Amino acid sequence: MSQLFAFQSGSLNIVIERADDEEVRLLHFSSLPFTGRSPSTRIQSLIELQTSGENHADHHAKKYTGTLPGTRLRFVALREIPVDGGTRVEIDLDDAATGLFVNYYMQLYAGISMVRVWAAVTNRGGVPVTLTFVSTFALWGLAQDTTGAWADSVRLHLPHHTWCSESQWRTHTVRDLGLAALHEFSLKRIAYASTGTMSTSEYLPMAVLENTSNGCSLCWQIEHNGSWYWEIGDKQRDLYIRLSGPTDRESQWSKQLAPDETFVTVSAGIGDVRGGFEQAVQELTRYRRRIRRAAPDQQTLPIVFNDYMNCLMGDPTTEKLMPLIERAGRLGCDIFCIDAGWHGDGYWWDSVGEWQPSQRRFPNGLREVVDAIRAHGMIAGLWLEIEVMGVKAQLAQQLPEECFFRRHGERVIDNGRYQLDFRHPRVVAHANHVIDTLIRDYGIGYFKIDYNIDAGAGTEIDADSPGDGLLEHNRAYLHWLDSVHARYPELIVETCASGGMRMDWAALSRANLQSSSDQMDYRHTARIVSTIAAALPPEQCANWVYPLASDDDEAVIFNLINGMLMRIHLSGQLDKLTPEAVGLIESGLTFYRSIRSLISVALPVFPLGLPAPMCQWLGFGLLTTDRLLLAVWRLDSEAEELHINLSSYGQLHGRLAATFPSDTDIQVDTVKKDAIVRIPNRFSARLLVIE
């Protein structure tokens, strides 16, 4: 007789079945209650596991269904273990034919409708076994509560994400993407993947699947800083999902497990909420705040001045920095970060890696500049690209070949750099020496750790496959970053990769904050800012505020509002601005200081929905228990007025607590629950605080 195990995480209901034949099935994973109704056909395995030399027990084409020994895994034990703030469910499975033993983990968090999942596979047999696919999460029956045709009622919200065009979400029905339920199943998959060291150069490793028929949305993120893969497909007239890290087919990953050896999958967060995209993002935000390393700056939100964007652009010198430091200090900035170029005398791109201050740029030494930063009451920061070494760096010729990624017998070269392999102790020693020296000798309290290459599928050195080498390097790098935080708990680390090209939750769970983009046009930055909180909590998102000397008042205000609901990274031609522009920045930063304590407890809202590609108004807000902070951008719209329906955000009292600028023309209609915003000029923005 089958046995059911029921769990709840927030409003998420989970039911796991131990079937008569000892197969374990994830029977129910939804914010809807479990009714006891089971699909009429066989549900797929709890975990998909494929090994070399085994059959695929399915007509699957490129889909990950019917894996072996995945479909042979049988129940051994189930445990519920209380942990801080929740419960961990552990399920043991084994395959008698191969001796593979699986520990499946599902971490539940009190009050959060998401779980964190991962699995460990151990070879308890007597011979090596080669893994080619292991799912982190597998669920079948996504549309079983749907009335009518799921091909039209199930919508995928998909985050396109690339250099200078981060967080560009698009919405499609699954029919639009090729799933149409014309047969019991198809060989079509909706599949997205990233291969290489830039984990988010095309897509974020997340999405939202909204079922407009039952009013629920499934949301997920794969928490890995390297290769990842997910797919949605159809089978038995329903939909399924698979989440994983690197795979054999997509990312050249395989892992040979020797007897008694264990492989652990990457983790993923997955949940289900009542509502649509906005409610899913809010639940992801709660979950992300729960799983990350706690850092004080995520509550205080210090203002950073960084000398790069639309400013020195990688060419800092003592002469150029001193007036910027003086101006940033007078504006009350908390951190001053010297960006790229401080380490090279001339063209430095392909010679990075030794991280010694340039004597030509700083005739009296870098310490003179750092001392000036501290004298103005700011923490001193530096840019690093610690994971690479330029092809012309002297140290690159002195380190052993095993310190670098290699394929086909040669070092991997990309964009003038070699990729360092953090599995090697010499690489870790080098990175530690750089960090320790800069902190000890210069008192650096902030590092912007950037990354500007893609080293491809991985490395063949000491690895079963290139993907195996990359995965272990990724994990070694994260271990190194953890060790830096352990040695220097007050250190603030910004993660950056050509802006947001590694905006994944392996990195973000450790970093204090993340650069959102390298976009240089403030008007385009608004398109990124208006949805970027779907990728990370606003208190971890660093947005450029970079006015130019030629900007008028509206451009300066627009720039400021781009940063006001997240983390302000001030830059631009600060030392060349008019007194009027400086006054606007002063008032903007004062306004920001008055609201920033709300940002780390607020939840994102998207009152205009996801923006269409060519839309000419943008809106993004943060909602607390008693405040709505709302940014509105008029782009190239002919209309001067926008009505925003706020009825879903609680009772409006008709009072504007504050606006920026202070003379903003806003009306709040408490009957219609509308905010009526008038912005007279194109490419202008306003921010309002509504009770």
Got the DSSP string for 383-443?
EE-TTEEETT-GGGGTS-GGGB-EETTEE-EETTEEEB-TTSHHHHHHHHHHHHHHHHHH-
The pLDDT value recorded for residue 221 is: 98
Non-local CB neighbours of 347 within 8 Å, separated by 6+ positions:
none
pLDDT at residue 671 greater than cutoff 80: no
The pLDDT value recorded for residue 478 is: 98
Looking at every residue in the chain, the average pLDDT score rounds to: 95
Please compute the mean of the pLDDT values over residues 91-115 and round it to a whole number.
98
Local confidence band at 184 (pLDDT 50, 70, 90 cut-offs): confident
pLDDT at residue 241 greater than cutoff 90: yes
Local confidence band at 652 (pLDDT 50, 70, 90 cut-offs): low
- What is the distance, to the nearest Å, from the Cα of residue 507 to the centroid of all Cα atoms in its chain? 8
| Residue 521 identity (one-letter amino acid) | D
pLDDT at residue 1 greater than cutoff 80: no
Say what the pTM is: 0.97
What is the C-alpha to C-alpha distance for residues 689 and 28, in angstroms, rounded to an integer? 41
- Helix-then-strand count for the chain, H and E: 12, 41
What is the C-alpha to C-alpha distance for residues 211 and 217, in angstroms, rounded to an integer? 6
| Coil, strand or helix at 467 | helix
Q: Beta strand 665-669 with 628-634: parallel, antiparallel or unpaired?
A: unpaired
Non-local CB neighbours of 22 within 8 Å, separated by 6+ positions:
74, 75
Strand order from edge to edge, sheet including 684-690 = 603-605, 617-623, 628-634, 684-690, 656-660
pLDDT at residue 168 greater than cutoff 90: yes
What does the pLDDT look like over 128-149, one tens digit per residue? 999 999 999 999 989 887 776 8
pLDDT at residue 670 greater than cutoff 80: no
The pLDDT value recorded for residue 183 is: 83
The pLDDT value recorded for residue 137 is: 98
The pLDDT value recorded for residue 338 is: 98
Please compute the mean of the pLDDT values over residues 363-391 and round it to a whole number.
98
| Residue 343 identity (one-letter amino acid) | H
Say if residue 69 is preceded by a cis peptide, omega within 30 of 0: yes
Euclidean distance between the first and final Cα of the chain, in Å?
56
The pLDDT value recorded for residue 650 is: 78
Q: Which of 507, 347, 342 is nearest to 434 (CA)?
A: 342
The pLDDT value recorded for residue 40 is: 45
Please compute the mean of the pLDDT values over residues 402-410 and round it to a whole number.
98
What is the C-alpha to C-alpha distance for residues 661 and 586, in angstroms, rounded to an integer? 12
What does the pLDDT look like over 633-642, one tens digit per residue? 999 999 999 9
What is the C-alpha to C-alpha distance for residues 435 and 567, in angstroms, rounded to an integer? 24
- Both tokens of 382, joined, read 């530096």
Q: Which of 527, 537, 536 is nearest to 631 (CA)?
A: 527
The pLDDT value recorded for residue 654 is: 59
DSSP label at 661? S
| Coil, strand or helix at 536 | coil
Local confidence band at 666 (pLDDT 50, 70, 90 cut-offs): confident
What is the C-alpha to C-alpha distance for residues 239 and 184, in angstroms, rounded to an integer? 11
The pLDDT value recorded for residue 550 is: 95
What is the C-alpha to C-alpha distance for residues 60 and 626, in angstroms, rounded to an integer? 51
Q: Mind listing the domains of the chain with CATH numbers?
A: 3-291 (2.70.98.60), 297-515 (3.20.20.70), 604-690 (2.60.40)
The pLDDT value recorded for residue 286 is: 98
Please compute the mean of the pLDDT values over residues 425-429 and round it to a whole number.
98
Distances 54 to 50, 131, 497, 527 between C-alpha atoms, Å: 7, 10, 39, 48
What does the pLDDT look like over 299-319, one tens digit per residue? 999 999 999 999 999 999 999
pLDDT at residue 292 greater than cutoff 60: yes
DSSP label at 314? T
What is the C-alpha to C-alpha distance for residues 219 and 210, in angstroms, rounded to an integer? 8
Please compute the mean of the pLDDT values over residues 29-56 and round it to a whole number.
83
pLDDT at residue 507 greater than cutoff 60: yes
DSSP label at 215? T
Local confidence band at 653 (pLDDT 50, 70, 90 cut-offs): low
The pLDDT value recorded for residue 667 is: 79
Q: Which of 522, 609, 513 is nearest to 558 (CA)?
A: 522
